[in-house]
């Protein structure tokens, strides 16, 4: 026998107690249900990717912040041999790789959902996870992809967060063409647009003054150019209001270029469809400070905030990417997607005590073991209930009845079934409602029906 | 822009096309349903474990075959720094660690299910996976764990495979105490029992003659001792038959020790409960050649075979382990569990063409886009149906109607909804059954009801 090993888990890798996991699964099931209702098919990719595939974006991407966090894997037995494997850090890159690889076998538009963990070598810190569950939905078109897909995603997401019932939230939408065109018009060189967009993405965090300073230092913009950028990216509000202001600004700004105009048009089309479907400014607004840090976005971009939890940041983000699959394929396969960071969201709300905690049991019925020599018969009752779809457990370990009832209370069972010699002979059951403590006698033939009725209350 | 990267997946890491993944999820959902019906709570552990935790068994276990396959992980940015993380190779060890770690917060008996991937550095070979989904159910008791749990697991597993409808199967049960006691009585030293059990486990593979040879070479057993072992471990059949023979052999074999007798008693108790619940020798037999390679099993052991696919080997195995959690805790926490290797099972049946393949779509209804200027209205119909629980998609990409119907056929939609100017004015819908090709006109107020009726057929 080896010496005892102290059992420990790894910081930044959340592990939930059963009650918490039941709660978590409840929210995960809501996401899956909504994704499937809109016709998305499931995609699961392997945890490992070839490094060169995973890092395809690296050279063209100045921030290697994600790349620094990537985990490599190799067999311990060959510890010092090079391997070419690494763990996925998001679900978008594996999806793009999968689509490029299997394009000939997929039916386009390919609408997939993917709910899997991803891994990042984050430093241990509250709210930072090294393993977390992402819930992604994306639509990939062949050659073209109608803008209606950009409008449909926020509606799906709206449905999910409403169903989750986790308080008021707001989806913020913007457009990278509009922002890119604006920056170009304001004098930023074409090859610096992505970095400038990242600056804008930081306004909320570092403040306008800092952004002004940086726009001057990095790009030598004039005051009026910086003013223009700040004015635009401060636009935020109901669709009509923001679109009106944008159109006015176009008239004032004679240098407005084509990209910029296309951006306004896309933003208008998408947001009009969203509003026409009943979403209001309570849950959906335009917000031109949303730029997204990732370089692959090319049009619509989204972020979602929980109104009562601004510090959480965006709980669901995404956007339109016209060239991502192009890293792996010559075929033009434009896409749009959104992603919910479920681990962070649920664990935050859980710690704040804002989620209705599940009971520490999945099943509602406990069978009391009145006489241990009848264990087989109790198991037979359990089977009968389970076959009728009623989740049931048998109290096999507690030696006396009062311990069994204590267990029933602690684990939160709704009903207890008590049966002994007398009941077996009479073909009846004692049914106890654990909440009201009322106990009734039920005939064998009515057992399932009666339990279903009591559970429905 | 970087050069294009050839998209590739990693051999031994299965990735399914959508239709296959829908099929796979269908079977995974069956497992989850049955696990939850019997009161098991979900447990998800992190993909990473501390190496020392994962390798706790290493020294006491002669076969380091699993250990050789373990993947270590570290951040690529720190490639050559040692880290202490590795990927789990099964779900039993993480569960034991979790139980030891959180024992004070768990309610015992702790019955958990766990459906997650595990990773092993296997050589690429057909049917060998480096990543595969395990479906585990275990019950852990505090101090004691009633034998009824050993009987309940095969019944749960029987329910799952019946529900999966994948052909005849048979659960084989044996007992390590019985086998261990037998080997001890036959002259094998106590510290070699585990290795000798592994030999027995190989009989089916290498044949009796080879096993006889090895028992002689390794332990210098006499012919009559080896005969006894071979006679016992060849016992296989219906419960009553095997138990009868075991009892006769006890009488003949005067050296029968205590462990051996306890083994027979456990086997009898467990199998009698199993049979009393309606399982017959068609799906449940005793089979004393089942020994299981892992050293932590201490009593009941199980394997399951698909009658028509003997080459697949065991598709669901497990057993009773009284000391596993003892690697991490002083508390006595005996357990029993079974595990389904879902990836291997489903992919085997899929490749043989034996699973009913799902349709390449999850949703049954497609909305035909008769006029692209009404996209918002089509999306609005989709939303209405989705809110009524009817999974619906809109044909947004195909420019003409015949392309849309081609798409509907290819993706396997059950119904198509057609609406244009006329329908919008009249408040009616054209509903087309894609199988019968019949088309009917439905009033707006009857839409959901009519669709539900048609889908129910």
Q: Tell me the domain boundaries of chain A.
A: 12-167+308-358, 170-303, 365-456
pLDDT in tens, B366-413: 999 998 888 889 999 999 999 999 999 999 998 799 999 999 999 899
Confidence of residue A2 (pLDDT cuts 50, 70, 90): low
For residue B235, with 0-12 CB atoms within 10 Å meaning exposed, 13-18 middle and 19 or more buried, which class applies? middle
* pLDDT above 60 (res B226): yes
Q: What is the pLDDT of residue B2?
A: 53
The mean pLDDT of chain A is 91
> Cβ distance B315 to B127 under 8 Å?
no
Domains A170-303 and A365-456 equal at CATH topology level: no
Q: What is the pLDDT of residue B408?
A: 93
Q: Which of B15, B48, B387 sits opposite A46 (nearest CB)?
A: B15
Q: Which fold has domain A170-303?
A: BirA Bifunctional Protein; domain 2 (3.30.930)
What are the DSSP calls for B360-414, one per residue? Answer: S-S--EEEEES-GGGHHHHHHHHHHHHHTT--EEE--S-SSHHHHHHHHHHHT-S
> Cβ distance A341 to A158 under 8 Å?
no
Q: Which of A188, A190, A193 is closest to A176 using CA atoms?
A: A193
Within 8 A of A38 by CB-CB distance, chain B residues are: 363, 382, 386, 391-393
Q: How far apart are CA A67 and CA A266, in angstroms?
A: 32
- Interchain CB distance below 8 Å, B41 and A21: yes
* pLDDT above 90 (res A57): no
Contacts 24+ apart (CB under 8 A), A267-272: A267/A173, A267/A174, A267/A175, A267/A178, A267/A243, A267/A300, A268/A243, A269/A147, A269/A151, A270/A147, A270/A150, A270/A151, A270/A173, A270/A300, A271/A151, A271/A173, A271/A239, A271/A243, A272/A239, A272/B376
Q: How many CB pairs lie under 8 A apart between chains A and B?
A: 323
pLDDT in tens, A156-182: 999 999 999 999 999 999 999 999 999
Mean pLDDT check: name the lowest of A1-5, A187-191, B23-27.
Answer: A1-5
What are the DSSP calls for A210-269, one per residue? Answer: HHHHHHHHHH---HHHHHHHHHHHT-EE-HHHHHHHHHHHHHH-TT--HHHHHHHHHHHH
Q: What is the pLDDT of residue B103?
A: 96
pLDDT in tens, B102-111: 999 999 999 9
Q: What is the pLDDT of residue A81?
A: 67
Q: Which of A18, A58, A397 sits opposite B43 (nearest CB)?
A: A18
Phi, psi of A10 (to 5 degrees): -100, 130
Mean pLDDT check: name the lowest of B55-59, B108-112, B167-171.
Answer: B55-59
Confidence of residue B59 (pLDDT cuts 50, 70, 90): very low
* pLDDT above 50 (res A194): yes
Confidence of residue A288 (pLDDT cuts 50, 70, 90): very high
Q: Which residue in B has a C-alpha nearest to residue A51's C-alpha?
A: B76
State the smallest CA–CA distance between residue B244 and chain A in angstroms: 21
3-state SS, B45-106, equals CCCEEEHHHHCCCHHHCCCCHHHHCCEEEEEHHHCCCCCCEEECCCCHHHHHHHHHHHHHHC
Within 8 A of B72 by CB-CB distance, chain A residues are: 73-76, 79
State the smallest CA–CA distance between residue B33 and chain A in angstroms: 9
pLDDT in tens, A366-386: 999 998 888 889 999 999 999
Report residue A263 CA to chain centroid gap: 27
Q: What is the pLDDT of residue B338?
A: 98
Within 8 A of B106 by CB-CB distance, chain A residues are: 17-18
B26 versus B295: the higher-pLDDT residue is B26
State the smallest CA–CA distance between residue B158 and chain A in angstroms: 12
- Interchain CB distance below 8 Å, B102 and A17: yes
Q: What is the pLDDT of residue B245?
A: 93
- Interchain CB distance below 8 Å, A10 and B46: yes
The ipTM estimated for the assembled molecules is 0.93
Q: How far apart are CA B81 and CA B79, in angstroms?
A: 6
Report DSSP state, residue A146: -
Q: Which residue in A has a C-alpha nearest to residue B381's C-alpha?
A: A277
Query: Strands A300-306, A335-341: parallel, antiparallel or unpaired by DSSP?
Result: unpaired
pLDDT in tens, B143-165: 999 999 999 999 999 999 999 99
State the smallest CA–CA distance between residue A88 and chain B in angstroms: 12
Q: Which of B42, B117, B363 sits opposite A39 (nearest CB)?
A: B363
Q: Which of A10, A45, A74 sits opposite B50 (nearest CB)?
A: A10
Query: Strands B428-433, B439-443: parallel, antiparallel or unpaired by DSSP?
Result: antiparallel
Estimate the crossing angle of helix B208-219 against helix B223-233, to 10 degrees: 130
Report DSSP state, residue A359: P
State the smallest CA–CA distance between residue B207 and chain A in angstroms: 31
A5 CB neighbour count, 10 Å cutoff: 18
Q: Which of A59, A71, A98 sits opposite B74 (nearest CB)?
A: A71
Q: What is the pLDDT of residue A62?
A: 45
Q: Which fold has domain B171-301?
A: BirA Bifunctional Protein; domain 2 (3.30.930)
Angle CA(A87)–CA(A89)–CA(A93) in degrees, nearest 5? Answer: 100
Within 8 A of B25 by CB-CB distance, chain A residues are: 42
Q: How far apart are CA A256 and CA A263, in angstroms?
A: 11
Task: Looking at the structure, give the CATH architecture of the domain made up of residues A12-167+308-358.
Answer: 2-Layer Sandwich (3.30)
- Interchain CB distance below 8 Å, B36 and A363: yes
**Tokens describing residue B7:** 């998209």
* pLDDT above 50 (res B1): no
Within 8 A of B110 by CB-CB distance, chain A residues are: 18
Angle CA(B275)–CA(B108)–CA(A420) in degrees, nearest 5? Answer: 50
Give the number of C-alpha atoms closer than 13 A to the C-alpha of residue B173, restricted to the C-beta side.
33
Mean pLDDT of A336-363: 89
Q: Which of B284, B331, B321, B277 is closest to B299 using CA atoms?
A: B321
State the smallest CA–CA distance between residue B298 and chain A in angstroms: 15
* pLDDT above 60 (res A61): no
* pLDDT above 70 (res A80): no
Q: Which of B41, B107, B149 sits opposite A362 (nearest CB)?
A: B41
What are the DSSP calls for A104-130, one per residue? Answer: GGSPSSEEEEEEEEEE--PPSBTTB-S
What top-level class would CATH report for the domain A365-456? alpha beta
**Tokens describing residue A134:** 């992402």
Q: What is the pLDDT of residue B76?
A: 86
Mean pLDDT of A184-204: 88
């Amino acid at each position: 026998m080896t010496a005892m090993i102290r059992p420990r888990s790894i910081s930044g890798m959340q592990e939930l107690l059963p009650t918490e996991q039941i709660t978590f699964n409840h929210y995960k099931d809501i996401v899956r249900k909504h994704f499937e209702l809109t016709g998305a098919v499931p995609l699961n990719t392997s945890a490992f990717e070839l490094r060169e595939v995973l890092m395809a974006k690296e050279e063209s991407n100045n921030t290697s912040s994600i790349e620094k966090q990537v985990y490599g894997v190799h067999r311990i037995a060959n510890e010092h041999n090079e391997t070419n494997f690494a763990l996925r850090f998001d679900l978008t890159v594996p999806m793009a790789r999968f689509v490029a690889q299997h394009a000939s076998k997929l039916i386009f538009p390919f609408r997939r959902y993917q709910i899997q963990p991803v891994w990042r070598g984050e430093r241990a810190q509250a709210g930072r996870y090294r393993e977390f569950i992402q819930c992604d939905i994306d639509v990939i078109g062949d050659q073209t992809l109608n803008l209606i897909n950009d409008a449909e995603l926020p509606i799906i997401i709206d449905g999910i967060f409403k169903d989750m019932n986790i308080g008021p939230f707001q989806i913020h939408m913007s457009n990278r063409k509009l922002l890119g065109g604006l920056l170009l018009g304001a004098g930023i060189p074409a090859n610096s647009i992505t970095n400038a967009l990242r600056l804008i993405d930081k306004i909320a965090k570092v403040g306008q003054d800092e952004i002004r300073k940086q726009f001057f230092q990095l790009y030598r913009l004039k005051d009026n150019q910086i003013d223009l950028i700040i004015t635009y990216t401060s636009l935020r509000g109901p669709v009509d209001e923001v679109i009106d202001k944008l159109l006015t600004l176009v008239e004032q700004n004679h240098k407005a270029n084509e990209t910029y105009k296309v951006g306004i048009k896309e933003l208008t089309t998408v947001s009009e469809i969203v509003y026409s479907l009943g979403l209001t400014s309570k849950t959906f607004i335009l917000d031109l400070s949303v730029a997204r840090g990732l370089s692959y976005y090319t049009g619509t971009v989204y972020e979602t905030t929980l109104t009562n939890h601004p510090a959480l940041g965006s709980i669901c983000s995404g956007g339109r990417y016209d060239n991502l699959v192009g890293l792996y394929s010559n075929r033009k396969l434009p896409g749009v997607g959104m992603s919910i960071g479920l681990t962070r969201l649920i664990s935050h709300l859980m710690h704040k005590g804002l989620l209705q905690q599940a009971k520490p049991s999945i099943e509602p019925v406990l069978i009391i073991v009145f006489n241990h020599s009848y264990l087989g018969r109790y198991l037979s009752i359990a089977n009968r209930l389970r076959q009728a779809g009623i989740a049931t457990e048998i109290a096999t370990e507690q030696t006396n009845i009062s311990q069994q009832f204590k267990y029933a209370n602690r684990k939160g069972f709704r009903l207890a079934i008590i049966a002994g010699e007398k009941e077996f002979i009479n073909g009846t059951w004692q049914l106890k409602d654990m909440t009201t403590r009322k106990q009734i006698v039920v005939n064998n033939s009515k057992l399932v029906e009666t339990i279903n009725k009591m559970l429905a209350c």
